[in-house]
Copies of this chain bind each other. A is one copy, B any other.
Amino acid sequence: MTVEIISIGDELLIGQTINTNLTWMGEQLSLIGADVRYNTVVQDKHDDMLGAFKVAMGRVDVVLVTGGLGPTKDDITKQVLCDYFDTKLVKNEEVLKHVRSFFEMRKRPMLDVNIQQAEVPEKSTVLFNKFGTAPGMWLEEAGKVLVSMPGVPYEMKSIMSSSVLDRLKEIFNPEALYYKTIQTQGIGESYIAERIEAIETKMRSEGVALAYLPSPGGVRLRLSVKPTEELKQAISSYIVQIAALLPQYVFGYGDAKLTEVVGADLLSMQSTVSTVESCTGGAVAAALTSVAGSSSYYMGSIVSYSNEIKISQVGVKAQTIEDHGVVSKSVVEEMATNGRKKLGTDYCVALSGIAGPDGGSEENPVGTVWIGVAGPERVIAKKFLFEKDRQRNIRRSVLTALNLLRCELMKINIEKS
C-alpha cells in the first residue's frame, strides 16, 4: 500500500506555516504499515492541483489530500476534484444538516458560503467532520483511493482516525509493524543512548528496530518488529529492561501524556494538588488543568509573579527573600509549604526562576529554576539550569515540575542534578 500526501496551501510554500500535518499523517500511516512514498505541496491554483492529482494517482495506491476546503474564494479543492473525477458538485443533505446544527449550536447566522460547504462531488462518499463544517470526501478510481480532508490539523486528525485509517487497512491490508513506545522526560537522546547502549546493540542484532523520537515533551523511544510472536515477546522484555535503567525519566508508555499520568497517580491516591508559581506564570497550573476531570485533584494556584504577591498572598517572609534571593531553595520551599496549607491540598508544587531573556546574574544565569514539592511527609527542592530561550525554559520547567511531582508521588529517588 503506497501513499502520497498532497498538501494544499500557498502558506506552506512561502514559509508562513510549517507542514506539521505531514509529520502526523506520516507517522500514523507508517504505523499501519503503509509506505508513504511522496508528499507534494501545491499552491491553491486549479491547474497545479489538477496536475498534482494526476501525477499522484499515477504512482501510488492512495492519495491523501489536505487543505483548500474552507468557505472562502481561494479554497477550490472540491472544484478540482470534480474536474479530475469528471463529476459535479451536489448538495448533500446530511452535511447540510450538520452545518446547520453547527451554526445553531453556536447561535450564529449561517451564510451562503457555509451552505456551499454542504456541496460535495457526486461520486464521493462523505466522511463526517465532527469538529468543523467541511466534510472529508472519499473517492475511488480503478482500485485507487483519493481522500480529501480539511487542512485544519484537529479536523484532519479526527477524520483520519475515525474514517480513513481503518478503512485503508481493510482495503489494502498492509503488514503493520508491531511496536511499543516508551515515553521519557528530562533526559536527552544521547544520554539515553549511552545508558542503554548494550541493550540497544543486542536488540538490533535480534531484529528489533529502535527509533529515538525527540519531541517538545521529551524523547520517545519506539521499538518495532515484524509481527511474529517471538519478536513481540522480545519487545515486551526489552521495554522492561530499558525502563529499569531510567526509572526517574520513564513516565509512561504508548501515547501517555505526563499531565495525564500525574493526574491518574493523584486520582488513584485520592490526593489533591495546588501550585505556587513565579517564573512559569501559571503554566504548570494550565498543564494540570488541560486534563479532563482534573477538578477531582487540582484545587487552585497562586501565581506570585511580583515579590509583593509572594509576600501578601503566599506568605513568603520578606526576610527570606532578602537573605537568600527570590530564586533560591529557601524561597521555593516556603512557597510550596505555605501554598499547601493556604490552598488546602496534599501536595503543592512551587517554582521560582529566571525565564529570561533578562534578569540573569553570575550566580543565577538565565535558565536557572528552583522547583519544590511539598507533600504530607516532606518538602524537597531541586535546582535546574535550562536554556537561554524564554519559551523553552518555561516549557521545560513545567515538564520537570510535573515529573518531580510524579517521582514524589511514586516515591522514586531523584538523581543529583
Footprint of B on A, CB under 8 Å?
10-20, 22-28, 30, 36-43, 45, 48, 51-52, 55, 59, 70-74, 105-107, 111, 113-114, 131, 152, 154, 189-191, 193-194, 200, 211-215, 222, 275, 277, 280-286, 288-290, 292-295, 298-306, 308-309, 312-313, 342-344, 355-358, 365, 385, 387-392, 394
Please measure, in the bound complex, the distance between the C-alpha atom of A15 and the C-alpha atom of B29, giving whole angstroms: 9
Cβ–Cβ contact B71 & A189, under 8 A: yes
Write 16 A-B pairs (CB below 8 A) sorted by A numbering.
A13-B30, A16-B27, A16-B222, A18-B20, A19-B39, A40-B40, A105-B365, A281-B285, A282-B303, A289-B305, A289-B355, A292-B358, A299-B309, A300-B309, A300-B313, A301-B301
In contact, B292 and A390 (Cβ under 8 angstroms):
yes
Closest to A36 in B: B13
Inter-subunit contact B298/A305 (CB<8 Å): yes
Quote the shortest CB–CB distance from A84 to chain B (angstroms).
17
Q: How far is the CA of A116 from the CA of B106 in the complex (A)?
A: 63
Does B74 lie within 8 Å of A212, measured CB to CB?
yes
A263 to chain B, nearest CB (A): 12
A290 to B288, CA, bound (A): 17
- Among A28, A300, A385, the one with the most B-chain Cβ atoms within 10 Å of its Cβ is A300
Please pick, from B48, B215, B222, B300, the residue contacting A306 in the complex, using a CB distance under 8 A: B300
- List the number of copies, as a whole number: 2
A217 to chain B, nearest CB (A): 12
Q: Measured between C-beta atoms, what is the minimum distance from A78 to chain B in Å?
A: 16
- Verify A214–B292 contact, CB threshold 8 A: no
Given known pairs A113-B193, A293-B358, A301-B302, the reply for A23 and B18 (CB within 8 Å) is yes
Contact residues in B for A282 (Cβ distance below 8 Å): 275, 277, 281-286, 289, 301, 303
Given the interface contacts A11-B211, A301-B303, A302-B313, does A106 sit within 8 Å of B385 by beta carbon? Answer: yes
| Contacting residues, chain B, for A304 (C-beta < 8 A) | 300
B289 and A295 within 8 A (CB): no
- Interchain CB contact under 8 A, B19 and A343: no
Q: CB-CB < 8 A to A212: which residues of B?
A: 70, 72, 74
* Complex Cα–Cα for A190 and B112 (A): 10
